[in-house]
Structure 1
């Protein structure tokens, strides 16, 4: 099975299990559902405390970072997990790791083990393969307005296997230094766009107001950073990694 088809199948299976998690909240596991744990505490903080109970392994799907506070909490949690020697893997859509809040906080965490996947649509954390933490999405609330901790071994095991499957098919983020933003980042994305549209070097250079030599140097830098051998491959990998999206700043 091709990796694109496998990723699609895993994404569909994950959506089904997310539905199961939702139904668990409404039925036999309703007692495991937590509203804001204490007055005024954001769910993101409660989730962080639960995640820090991990002893061996955490796999975390994160569809968005809602604000600076959310990003800082995640960064602090990841740093503490690393200090405990807990293996932590994080799955995000490509756009998330390009956001300013992410880059200022989470992106600064050393040795962060992350992969990008468009199929990530709900925040789920599987701790030591035996418990699932599932915050509810809620605009304006860092981490949502409530969360569940599910310790049903069957649900936890299935979600753990699915997230691991998505991890295996997800992409490693491209080298970020050339694409962080600023004037150089904008020019590189413009060059990538023209490469993807099949422009010849001289026509592309004229369109961007560059010399052909300078334009080719940008092309060479892009191909080196993306570790590809052809311009077509560069365009494909850049699209998959979200590098051709506009800056979010």
Structure 2
């Protein structure tokens, strides 16, 4: 059976296979004159250095006088780990400055602004509308008309009136494939909104937990990041930033938090069972579909589809029969 995954340390570190093959050829010549190593690879010294440029820039290959020094794989790994650690530290510093920068953008949005304008282009957009429906519509359009993974910090949004629509948006976005959604919640969300988390996990979103989540945030691929005007839980003003450096810094901040976060006790399969149990409990209590949608933080359409699927799974023609059969199977 063919082994999947990276074939070497360098490809695991993200270098192209061609660069790795050249590295394997020259590493045995480490410490020898550049001209001699180049001749061994049927290149001129200039051509060899050009082909080795990604490794030179990474510090894995260097010239010491006339000699070409090639670090072994273990040292290459150490160098790249140090580089990534420094990169992550720079990202944190950039995020510290981002708090102030975003606040300044939001403040500038009110300078010389016509009272009827709702957005002001200040190296991005500062959305000042107070209508939650408009905020949701903007997020929906950005997600639907973009590509790339979705990274969410969600400290409290499940309490909002549009949470069921957001869950439906995630389900639609992931249904088409080619992208993923990851979200970090505070641990108390498992107590306050288990249905909302179960619905998102059942739709395919990867969920992790932290004791506290510092701010709301959504990163969309490598093109947009949505942040409050001042990092925290406020909705208005909402800043939509398109600068690549800021989007990259926000994504790196998310990744640092993601590494510290823990997965919930239940996985995706368990989340589906949890959602099924929640639905059955709601049906057994006599709740209407609209109330179930509000309680679970999912859309009315999703509730009706999942109830229909559940009844089909139980072989029931009515909701009463579904409750009886679910009790017989020990699902309640």
State the TM bucket, normalised to the shorter chain: 0.5 to 0.7
2:143 counterpart of 1:51: yes
Q: How many residues align?
A: 166
**Distance in 2 of aligned mates of 1:106 and 1:115:** 10
2:152 to 60, 65, 87: 60
Match of 2:211 among 118, 121, 128: 118
User: CA–CA distance in 2 between the matches of 1:66 and 1:88?
Assistant: 16
Q: Give SS of 1:63's match.
A: coil
Mapped pair 1:156 → 2:237: no
TM-score by length of 2: 0.42
- Preserved contact between residue 229 and residue 238 of structure 2 (Cα < 8 Å): yes
Residue of 23, 28, 44 corresponding to 2:104: 23
| Distance in 2 between residues matched to 1:32 and 1:166, nearest whole Å | 26
Which residue of structure 2 lines up, in the alignment, with residue 70 of structure 1? 162
Other-structure match for 1:167: 258
SS of the residue aligned with 1:60? strand
197, 203, 227: which one aligns with 1:134: 227
- TM-score normalized with structure 1 length: 0.55
Partner of 1:147: 238
CA–CA separation in structure 1 for the residues paired with 2:265 and 2:95: 25
2:240 is paired with a residue whose SS is strand
5 Å-filtered alignment, 1:1-249, equals 14=95, 16-27=97-108, 29=122, 32-36=125-129, 41-65=133-157, 67=159, 69-85=161-177, 86-100=179-193, 103-109=194-200, 110=202, 111-135=204-228, 144-175=235-266
Whole-angstrom CA distance in 2 between matches of 1:99 and 1:45: 26
Distance 1:76 1:135 in 2: 23
Deviation track 1:67-102 (CA, whole Å, cap 9, x = no partner) reads: 3523212211211221122211111111123323xx
Aligned residues of 1:129 and 1:156 also touching (Cα < 8 A): yes
Query: What RMSD over aligned residues (CA atoms) do the two structures have, in Å?
Result: 3.6
Q: CA deviation at 1:171?
A: 0.8
Larger Cα-atom Rg:
2
Deviations along 1:94-143, whole A, 9 cap, x unmatched? 1123323xx33342232320111235221111111221112458xxx9x8
Whole-Å separation in 2 of the counterparts to 1:157 and 1:40: 27
Unaligned runs of 5+ in 1: 1-8, 181-249
Conservation of the 8 A alpha-carbon contact between 2:229 and 2:236: yes
* Change over 3 Å in CA distance of 1:112–1:61 after alignment to 2: same
Q: Is the 8 A contact 2:123 2:243 kept in 1?
A: no
Structure 2 residue runs of 5 or longer lacking an equivalent are 1-88, 109-120, 275-332
Greater relative contact order structure (CA < 8 Å, 6+ sep): 1
Cα distance in 1 between the residues matched to 2:252 and 2:185: 17
Q: What secondary structure is seen at the aligned counterpart in 2 of 1:148? A: strand
